Structure 1
């Protein structure tokens, strides 16, 4: 009988699966993270969860066979290191980490609150780095895998989404760099590029008066179902794929991002001025409430 590793590596055997894979998912309380954790568990993976919404995390963990979970402020490097080590210990090792935790909030570059950019970068960039730093030693083996959820915003940048786009472009850069740095260990790195999926983040992020003034509707490309994206992530975790996209057309846009950016620039000229003015005074929350932490930047006058 072949070992799990042999079945995983053999290119001529049955299709790769996630059965028995030990997978850590960040931002697992809702949306992509929660749906992925539940589906991975249903298909035989062992999952561990971290996030900041404890009641929701506990529910997801219960649905995943009482999977281990921890509260974790992803922007706190000491806490991330401690929590990851604890969860890896409970799993008995680690085969993959899904760096999914992220937040979004609209920000006009001129006249916007710098705290929005600071907090977005803390969670979406530093949080990814802290996660990779903590989990990296545990997945640096021939079966190891990292999957970063980076969004189509890493390639195509919309008005008022500068903070989010900058953070996702930075996360993409971290992933591409890590792929090279891990190659000698046999571990692989994948990046997920998603358009507007049917999640709370999409509903909250685009559900503002300013966004509607610019777009003339609630989203750019229309809300896509979450299921195909989760299926794609599961396949990526099984095959250790380099790229995941959803919907399918996102792959074309990522390859031709220069043309895509030009098309966005041309299409959204009309409402940007009024929408930006609205955004400067519109009070909207982050897509997920964040724990209080000391400011790293001085507030600008």
Structure 2
């Protein structure tokens, strides 16, 4: 595939308005793929689309709305052709103690990250079967060892890993490959002000020096696109993460032990502050789904 020359394939990127989604779309477009950008922020999607060198369409859609996503898939096929590459990247994160996290917010993180990925696969599988395509599920090192203060995010990323592993086996004989991308610290607005953020700072402080490095969205996108070109089973961003795989059975206990020390150093006011949704994209999604103010709480019965 020659850079800059149309290669006829269509790539779909959810969460394409910013961050890793935008950077991945740019790199795929420079390689000549036509792009369909899906997300919640239509104006931002259009700005990205207008700057790409290949034919692009953008569709405002909520990945948790299965019917709308099915409609978006039909629109992509009608406007660009059937998808050969689908990157399930849409995701949000919320930080804070589980007990202090709004129930609707916890559920929203799970719905967007896990159910949204399943909806994306369901909507585009007919096209991927037709093209013998490739589905890339964006996961995270949060699936390696669950960190406190990020319970919904970690649960959702562990879930998408398991989902993609099952899907890979089901589609093996149908000509569709499924890859899982494991992202570590990436410099998107989701972790903006990382050293000033009590939760993110606590998660990062005791990691080894190489593991604390924050990589740019463009660098991460380069690793992802390399994996897409190879139809890789696993994509590690950064690549040295593959060396961690043999240690995965040990990681939950290691993460728990280190995290307990980190949390012990946090002032109580910071530990119990509910920091809510991380990043502009997550806040835009949450604001559009924030439930009406609840009625005065009823004191639950004592057990």
Bin for the TM-score computed over the shorter chain: 0.7 to 0.9
2:15 to 27, 46, 54: 27
Distance 1:279 1:242, change over 3 A: same
**Aligned equivalent of 2:78:** 89
Mapped to 2, the partners of 1:204 and 1:103 lie a distance apart of: 17
Work out whether 1:40 is the aligned partner of 2:40: no
**Aligned equivalent of 1:292:** 289
Shift of 1:213: 5.1
Shift of 1:231: 1.5
Mapped to 2, the partners of 1:123 and 1:73 lie a distance apart of: 8
1:234-283 CA-to-partner distances (Å, cap 9, x unmatched) read 12222211010011221122342122333322323223144676343334
Mapped to 2, the partners of 1:242 and 1:122 lie a distance apart of: 25
- Equivalence map 1:181-260=2 (5 Å): 181-203=170-192, 208-212=197-201, 215-216=204-205, 221-260=212-251
Shift of 1:59: 1.0
**Aligned equivalent of 1:3:** none
TM-score (structure 1 length as normaliser):
0.85
Mapped to 1, the partners of 2:272 and 2:62 lie a distance apart of: 28
Question: CA RMSD of the aligned region, Å?
Answer: 2.9
Work out whether 1:281 is the aligned partner of 2:273: yes
Q: Which runs of 5+ in 2 are unaligned?
A: none
Shift of 1:92: 1.4
Q: Is the 8 A contact 1:214 1:270 kept in 2?
A: no
Q: Which runs of 5+ in 1 are unaligned?
A: 1-7, 9-13
Q: Is the 8 A contact 1:107 1:113 kept in 2?
A: no
1:98-138 CA-to-partner distances (Å, cap 9, x unmatched) read 00000001131234322222010110011111111100111
Q: Whose helix proportion is higher, 1 or 2?
A: 2
**Aligned equivalent of 2:169:** 180
Further displaced range: 269-278 or 101-110 = 269-278
Mapped to 1, the partners of 2:8 and 2:224 lie a distance apart of: 16
Mapped to 2, the partners of 1:213 and 1:181 lie a distance apart of: 39
Does the residue aligned with 2:243 lie in a helix, a strand or coil? helix
Work out whether 1:138 is the aligned partner of 2:113: no
Further displaced range: 255-264 or 85-94 = 255-264
Q: Is the 8 A contact 1:140 1:187 kept in 2?
A: yes
